[in-house]
Structure 1
Amino acid sequence: MEYNSSLPIYLQVANLIKRDIVTGKRELGEKLPSVRELAVSYTINPNTVSRVYKELETEGVCFTRRGMGTFVTEDSEKVKNMKEEMAGTLIHEFLEGMQQLGFTKTDVIRILKKKEESGE
C-alpha cells in the first residue's frame, strides 16, 4: 500500500479499517487481525498498529477483550454515524474541489443531474 505523506500512517490505516466496517467488509463484533498480522498485511511497524487500535478504541469503533483480541464495535448506530460522517467529508471535499474549478452549486447540481441521466 502507498501512504499519503500529509497524514500519519496510523490515521490512514484507521480510516481504511473504518471504511471496511461501514461498507460491510468487516461485520459488527468481528475479531480484527492481531497486531502482527495487521502489521504484515499493511507492511507497517507493529507499534503503528497498536496506535491504530488505540485510536479506533478511543473513537468507539472497536474494543479489546484482554487475552482475546480486538473486535469491531457491536453498536450499529455508531457505524451508521461513521458512515454519514464519511459521506459528509466526501461531499465537502467534492464541493470544495468543484468550487476551486470555478463551478457554482447550481453548476454542480446540473452536472450531477446530467451524469445521472446519461447513466455514468
Structure 2
Amino acid sequence: MQLKFNNRDPVYVQVVRYFKEQMASGMLASGQEIPSRRELANKLKINPNTAQRAYKEMEEAGLIFTEGNLPSKITKDEHKINSIRNELLMDAVDTFVQSVRPINVSVNELVQLVTDKYRKEIGE
C-alpha cells in the first residue's frame, strides 16, 4: 500500500481519495475485504483515529460496508464505483482546464497534445 501524503489536505481525506482511486482502477474489487482500521493505521503510519475517520467517511458515502464483526469490504454497487470513476475524472479535467486556460491554447491543440502524451504514457 503506497500513499504519499501532502501537506495541503487532511490525512483522512487523502486516505479516502486513495481508496477511491484504487476502486476506480479496479485494484480494489467489488466486495473485496480491506484492512482493519488498526491495520491501515499501522501500514500507513497514521493515527488510528485518522483511519477510523476515513472509514467512517467511506461508509457514510457507501464506498465500503461492514457487517457485524466481519472485516469491512468494498461496495458491491457497480453504479457507485462508476460514479467514483466519473468523479475522479471530472476532478482531473477541472484541474487540467484551470491550469491551461491562461496559456490561451486551442481545444484542437490541447486534444492533440493530450492524445500524444497519453499514448506515449501507455506505450501505444
Deviation at 1:106, TM superposition (A): 4.1
Within the alignment, does 1:103 sit opposite 2:105 as a pair?
Answer: yes
Cα distance per residue 1:34-59 (max 9 Å; x no partner): 11110111110111000000000111
Instruction: Show structure 1 runs of 4+ deviating over 4 A.
Output: none
What's the TM-score once normalised by structure 1's chain length? 0.87
Moved more, 21-30 or 95-104: 95-104
Gaps of at least 5 residues in structure 2 are none
Cα distance per residue 1:44-93 (max 9 Å; x no partner): 01110000000001111011112112111010111011101111111111
CA RMSD of superposed structures (Å): 1.7
For residues 47-62 of structure 1, what are the structure 2 equivalents within 5 Å? 47-62=49-64
* Seq. identity, %: 27
What's the TM-score once normalised by structure 2's chain length? 0.85
Number of equivalences: 117
In 2, the alpha carbon distance for the partners of 1:40 and 1:79 equals 27
Indicate which of 22, 38, 41 corresponds to 1:39.
41
Moved more, 99-108 or 59-68: 99-108
